[in-house]
Amino acid sequence: MSFKSRTGKIFSALTLTLSLLGAPIAQADTTLRIGNQGEPASLDPHFLSGDWENRIAGDLFMGLTTEDPEGNAIPGAAESWTVSDDGLVYTFKIRDHKWSDGQPVTAQDFEYAMRRILLPETAAEYASLLYIIKNGEELNTGKAKPEDLGVHALDDKTLEITLKGPAPFLISMLTHYTAFPVPKHIVEKYGKDWTKKEHIATNGPYKLVEWLPNTHVKVTKNELFWDAANVKIDNVIFYPQEDAAALIKRMRAGEIDCIYKFPSGQIDWLRQNMPEETKIAPYLGTYYYPINTKRAPFTDKRIRQALSMAIDREIIMDKVLKTGELPAYSMVPPGTSNYKEPSYVTWKSMPMADRITKAKELMKEAGYGDDKHLKVQLRYNTDDNHKRIAIAVAQMWKKIGVETELFNSEVKVHYAELKQGNFEVARAGWVADYNDPQNFLFLLESTSKSLNYGNYDNPDYDKLMEEAYLESDLKKRAQIMGKAEAIAMEDAPIIPIYYYVSKNLVSTKIKGWKDAINDTHRTRWLSIEN
């Protein structure tokens, strides 16, 4: 064998060895697999209404502002903005970036999107979130033309939004999917088919690859995303599995990396077997019982107060739920932005025994006692936890001489009855769309129609809320809303039970997951370490 041929063979062998060694070095695509607990109704941001849809839409699209790893609003499609002195006019500078088909994202796309969602014929469920924009409600109810809307593209990169009142929550609200842009050039070309995978263009960190209803939605990294260099996960698959027990099994088998909303009933097992994966964090939501203030005898404030006082929230947290929820004594959860400490009920610190005594006195004053029991129907929608809480509450009310009839119905029937005022006391919950006390307190305004289930109507409360809408000084605004909340807590049109927590299971190989008060964890901030 000649030297030449021998070196040739050695060289070939070395090349082969290096290439074999090199094979594992070349990074395989990373894929995040999410147990999403619901099939998206749509991928069109204007037709969404749930957090499981927000998770997908937020990976595909990016609003003027977006969420950081902790869920706080940061610049998104807009790189900066200015606010007029009266807090009514916001001028956004659109970041230089592109749709996934290569077309530039312009201010016109935002103008088009906001007009579109508010057009009555679009029939968007969540359009009312943008009523804060000048002529938003008027456009949605057919009383104004699209060009009257307070959203104008001043040029390709400048968008001006005019509000009907100062709204310091606007920046946080713009992270919501109702304010996402849609690609005007695609929507106009394909109409309702624009979200099909062969047409859709997105401006977020990911783009659509596949959507197989009831099986999965797969998205892949959008190389044209403005910050693509820092997006570490290549693909995300969202599984719409509703059966949480099946999801947990899939996670144990290594088929899924993260599950949103595990069932509370599993908490003991999870704490024992998957402690590192179990993530529980405060969540911007309140679980409460509205009381029908228009139905006798619940028109009597004393009865409403007594019913609220008699509920031992700590027992519900410790013995029924056991997942770290916090007992609620206000409508607004603590930690809400643009607010102070919530205005709690005045008896928050009173020992339970004293509360029962006081509640009995109130009932007596209202004409109820041992000889005359108050009968209450407590409605709840089908869910194991709602049932367990209702049973516990019924037992607690017994102590003040209240006989409770529990009434269960499926969710549609439950809310249809609430909307029509066909209830006495009922279960409800509210999770904020944006981080601001107004998003909780507006529920109790007399003008909130179908969302003010108990038909609470106090002109003083309404007046203070109106005042708060016109106040641009954040400190003063917080004080005014605090006064309003104090009035509502004294009137007790609702019984706050607990503040929600987010309950997720996250594989230890996922890095970058942080507690977020709105439970929003955008994939662009995460990475996977095997």
> Restricting to residues 397-416, which ones interact with another protein according to CB under 8 A?
410-416
For residue 438, the minimal CB distance to another protein (Å) is: 16
Nearer to another protein, 84 or 448 (CB): 448
Nearest to 492 by CA among 458, 448, 447: 458
**Angle, alpha carbons 32-501-526 (nearest 5°):** 25
Report DSSP state, residue 133.
B
Report the run of H or E that residue 44 belongs to, with start and end.
Answer: none
Selected from 13, 14, 18, 41, the binder of another protein by CB under 8 A is: 41
The pair phi, psi for residue 383, each rounded to 5°, is 180, 140
Decide if residue 449 touches another protein (CB under 8 A). yes
Report DSSP state, residue 105.
P
For residue 195, the minimal CB distance to another protein (Å) is: 5
Nearest to 127 by CA among 38, 48, 39, 200: 48
The pair phi, psi for residue 515, each rounded to 5°, is -65, 135
Fill in the per-residue mask, 168 to 207: x = in contact with another protein (CB under 8 A), - = not in contact.
Answer: ------------------------x--xx-----------
Decide if residue 215 touches another protein (CB under 8 A). yes
Asked whether the beta carbons of 63 and 179 are under 8 A apart, the reply is: yes
> Restricting to residues 77-136, which ones interact with another protein according to CB under 8 A?
120-125, 127-128
Dihedral angle of Cα 419, 424, 425, 430, to the nearest 10 degrees = 10
- Residue whose entry in the numeric block shows the structure tokens 């706050």: 496
# of chain residues touching another protein (CB under 8 A): 54
Nearer to another protein, 4 or 449 (CB): 449
Selected from 81, 177, 180, 239, the binder of another protein by CB under 8 A is: 239
For residue 3, the minimal CB distance to another protein (Å) is: 52
Selected from 82, 141, 273, 508, the binder of another protein by CB under 8 A is: 141
Asked whether the beta carbons of 212 and 221 are under 8 A apart, the reply is: no
Decide if residue 450 touches another protein (CB under 8 A). yes
Residue 518: both structure tokens together: 């709105």
Continuous H helices in 85-211? 107-118, 136-140, 170-173, 184-190
Question: Terminus-to-terminus CA distance in the chain, angstroms?
Answer: 46
Residue 374: both structure tokens together: 């108050």
Nearer to another protein, 196 or 398 (CB): 196
For residue 43, the minimal CB distance to another protein (Å) is: 6
Selected from 144, 281, 451, 474, the binder of another protein by CB under 8 A is: 451
Stretch that binds another protein, among 78-86, 161-169, 392-400, 445-453 (CB under 8 A): 445-453
For residue 23, the minimal CB distance to another protein (Å) is: 23
Selected from 30, 31, 42, 377, the binder of another protein by CB under 8 A is: 42
Packing angle of the helix pair 301-309, 352-365 (nearest 10 deg): 160
Nearest to 95 by CA among 172, 229, 203: 203
Decide if residue 216 touches another protein (CB under 8 A). yes
Selected from 255, 268, 365, 490, the binder of another protein by CB under 8 A is: 255
Q: Which residues bind another protein (CB under 8 A)?
A: 39, 41-44, 47, 49, 120-125, 127-128, 137, 140-141, 192, 195-196, 212-216, 239-243, 245-246, 249-250, 252-253, 255, 410-419, 428-429, 449-451, 453
